[in-house]
Amino acid sequence: MNRTTSLKIASIFFFLFGIFEVFGLLMLLIPTEFVPTAFEAQSVFWALMSGIYGISRIIAGYAIWSNLKWGMAFGLLLCVTTMIVAPTIVPFGVIDLIFTVVISISLLSAWYGNEKIVQ
């Protein structure tokens, strides 16, 4: 896979992933009579975190689509933080890990290409 294809795959997955997470902000619009009071504060926290991560992923996707180097670094940073946090948010963390693995492989493939470890 060449570099431009890898970057396009990573940016498309970042856009999709970001849009899905921005929809997490819609959790704030759920009527509170349906949400147990013990989970209300926690759901507001996770909805806000989802929005922040979603906007960050859309920014990274745009930067990668525009072939900006900082976009690749920012994207890899987002992937690492997602891999750390994802196991704590079951069952949604499984989907996060799937997206993150595809994005990480695409970004690392674009960064290093087909170079051998030892020449």
Q: Could you tell me which residue, 39 or 62, shows the higher pLDDT?
A: 62
Q: What's the pLDDT score for residue 67?
A: 92
d(CA 63, CA 76): 12
Residues in the chain: 119
Instruction: Answer whether 14's CB lies under 8 Å from 63's CB.
Output: no
pLDDT digits (tens, 9 = 90+) for 21-52: 898 777 777 666 666 665 666 777 878 888 99
Per-domain residue ranges of the chain: 3-112
DSSP string of 61-102?
Answer: HHHHHTT-HHHHHHHHHHHHHHHHHGGGSTTHHHHHHHHHHH
pLDDT digits (tens, 9 = 90+) for 83-112: 998 888 777 788 889 999 999 999 999 998
Task: Look up tokens 């997206």; give the residue.
Answer: 99
pTM to 2 decimal places? 0.85
